[in-house]
Structures are given as structure tokens and as C-alpha cells.
Amino acid sequence: MDVALPSSVGVDSPAKINLFLGVGPLRADGYHELATVFQALDMVDHVTAVADPGTAVQLEIAPGSGRVPKGGTNLALKAARLLKRKYKVKQGARLILSKSIPVAGGMAGGSTDAAAALVACNALWGLGLALDELSELGAELGSDVPFGLHGGTALGASRGEVLTPVLTTGTFVWVVATSFTSLSTPEVYATFDRLNATRDVPAPAVPRALLAALRRGDHEAVGTYLHNDLQAAAISMRPELDLLLEAGIDYGALGAMVSGSGPTCVFLAKDPEHAMELAVALSGTGLCRSAKIATGPVPGARITRAQD
Ligand code: C5P
């Protein structure tokens, strides 16, 4: 008996930040060994996969999504095409991508779009793949795609694709300050290598004290352990980020850091009221394009709408 498939599936998928990003030596495969703690935030991109009478997968970008790649390099499109090829799917799909996560901002926006496309097309085409199967496929597309699928707060090992859930208490309130410019992740890693060329880069490790603070819900302690090994590289490429981070600390942030490879910066607020004050104050510095409030942890890519 044929099971009716949906005519469209809508998926929300979260931005990520790294509460701790420890970067190890460059590996033979061109990646760096990482020890990281990811957290998913309620700043989301949305992908709708619509059944198409044709056999191809096509992409539309919703207005206001920023400068997103439209062609074959778009990670959502790559993800859907990879799924179709691997599982010999005959049907096509029209993907509609609507973004609010900054493009090339260090928040894994492209990777989370790939996660959303995998979840949407898995349902649209009735493949019934499990999260782990989608995750394995996602890791072929980018190191952060598996976390976009899982969400929450998680330890990331290897190049970031090997995940272990982390226990946390409470909701963390962040101010996310977006930048006027973008940074290329490979260029930031290359700068990290140049800055560290004269020393042996040790194997990275997440401090146990950070994990304990997350478990206790001690946000003040979490603020002191926020750390990003890519920060010095990002600041050397965008020196104004240092001023923005300093401003956040002056306005009472519990911690401040560059997110991932930057240039987005994130600030841990004491509570929602403080987040509001911090966001207004940071916007007023003129050092960022926008300052938005976001909370975490939230789940990974999930279906929010489906139509028969
Ligand atoms: O995996 P993803 O495609 O997101 O990585 C983009 C680039 O970032 C890689 O080509 C590599 O230059 C750098 N990278 C790295 N080590 C990691 C993750 C990413 O050097 N663990």
C-alpha cells in the first residue's frame, strides 16, 4: 500500500555558539582537532521543502535573507542533493530558505541550513532515516551539521562532528552582536596557524570546571570559562572586535567572546532585563550592525509545519 507523502514540510534549525572552542594542531586532512562545547540558540533559519513535479532539487531564497549563495555551493541545496543521490530518490523538491542567522558570521548558519534541508527532505520523501543516519550524512557536508541536527548543549570532538550531550541547568540569555562584515572560516583557521607557527599547539581539552558550572546552572562561573582559541585570529583580522568585547564587559556581561570563527560576538547576560540593557548599549556603540537577544539551549532542526 502506498503511503501518502506530505506536499510540504517546514523545518526550523538553530544557530550555534561555542561556549568553549579549543583548537589543536592542524591534521593531515586539513582540519584541526577540536575540543568544544556547542550551544544551540533560539535564533533560527527556516527551510520549507515543497514537493515538485520535476525530478530536480531547486532552491529559492526568501527576501531579507542576506547574501546567501544561491547556486550549487549553498549547503541546504548540497544537503538535499546528497540525500537524493545516496538514497536514489526519484522525486524532486523545491527548497525555500529563509534566514535570520548571519551569513559567514561564525554561528554555523550554512551548516544549520544543511541540517534543516536533511530533516525536511527526509520527511518530504518519506525516507524514514534516523537522526544518526542524517548526522553521518551531514558530517560529509560540514563539521557543524551534526550539531545543527542534535541541538541542545553538547561536547564536540574530532573536527566538531563527534557529539556528546552536556547536562545544563536553566536558560542562558545571550546578546548576539552581528558585524558589518563577514569572515571566512578557512582564512581564520589559517591565521590561527600563522599566529601559532612558532610553538607546539597542544591537544585541546574542555575544562571540567565549565562542565560543572553548566550542570549547576552557575551562569556567573560559566561566564568566566567562556573561551575561544580562534578569537586572537579573528581579532587580528578585525581589530574593532576587541573594542566591542570590551564594551560588553564594561556593561556588565558575565562573559564576552567571538563566536566560532567570527565576526559575530556573543555576550552572556545576567537575566532578560540585563540582556535588554546590554543589547541597547552595544547597539549604541556603533561597533556592531545589530545586537539581538537569544536564549539557549534549544533543540536541533525540527519540523514545525507539514501539509498533506
Ligand atoms: O567543516 P567545514 O566545511 O565547516 O569547515 C570549513 C573549513 O574550516 C575547513 O575547510 C577548514 O579549513 C576549517 N576547519 C578546520 N578544522 C575544523 C573545522 C573547520 O580547520 N575542525
Which CATH number characterizes residue 47's domain? Answer: 3.30.230.10
Q: Are residues 189 and 116 in the same domain?
A: no
> What does the pLDDT read at residue 210?
98
CA-proximal residue: ligand 1, atom 8 (nearest): 186
84 included as an active-site residue: no
Does any domain span residue 261? Answer: yes
Residue 285 lies in a domain: yes
DSSP letter (8 states) at residue 292: E
Ligand 1 neighbours, Cβ below 6 Å, are 30-32, 34, 142-144, 159-160, 185-186, 189
pLDDT value of residue 2: 66
In whole angstroms, give the CA distance from residue 138 to residue 133. 9
Closest CA to 87 of 58, 52, 121: 121
CA of 10 to the centre of ligand 1 (A): 28
* Residue 67: pLDDT band with limits 50, 70, 90: confident
270 is a domain residue: yes
Task: Say if residue 252 is in the same domain as residue 220.
Answer: yes
44 CB neighbour count, 10 Å cutoff: 22
- For residues 63-78, give the mean pLDDT: 92
Q: Atom of ligand 1 at shortest distance to CA of 33?
A: 21
Number of domains into which the chain is organized: 2
Over residues 101-126, the mean pLDDT reads 95
Alpha carbon of 25 to ligand 1 centroid (Å): 13
CA–CA gap between residue 38 and residue 278 (Å, rounded): 23
The residue whose C-alpha atom lies closest to atom 20 belonging to ligand 1 is 31
Q: Write out the residue range of the structural domain in which residue 89 sits.
A: 8-21+41-151
| Same domain, yes or no: 57 and 105 | yes
Instruction: Kindly name the residue from 12, 45, 113, 144 that is annotated as catalytic.
Output: 144
Query: Which tens digits make up the pLDDT trace of 234-287?
Result: 999 999 999 999 999 999 999 999 999 999 999 999 999 999 999 999 999 999
Distance of alpha carbon 216 from alpha carbon 257, whole angstroms: 22
Whether pLDDT at 3 is above 90: no
> Is position 193 annotated as part of the catalytic site?
no
What CATH code is carried by the domain that includes residue 243?
Answer: 3.30.70.890
141-173 pLDDT tens trace: 999 999 999 999 999 999 999 999 999 999 999
Last residue of some domain: 151, 184, 212? 151
Q: 30 C-alpha vs ligand 1 centroid, how far in Å? A: 8
Residue 26 located in a structural domain: no
Q: If you measure from the C-alpha of residue 276 to the centroid of ligand 1, how many angstroms do you get, rounded to a whole number?
A: 34
- Confirm whether 166 is domain-assigned: no
Q: What is the pLDDT of residue 66?
A: 85
Q: Is the pLDDT of residue 1 over 60?
A: no
Looking from the CA of 154 toward its CB, the CA atoms found within 13 Å total 22
Q: Whose C-alpha lies nearest to ligand 1, atom 9?
A: 186
Do 133 and 237 fall into the same domain? no
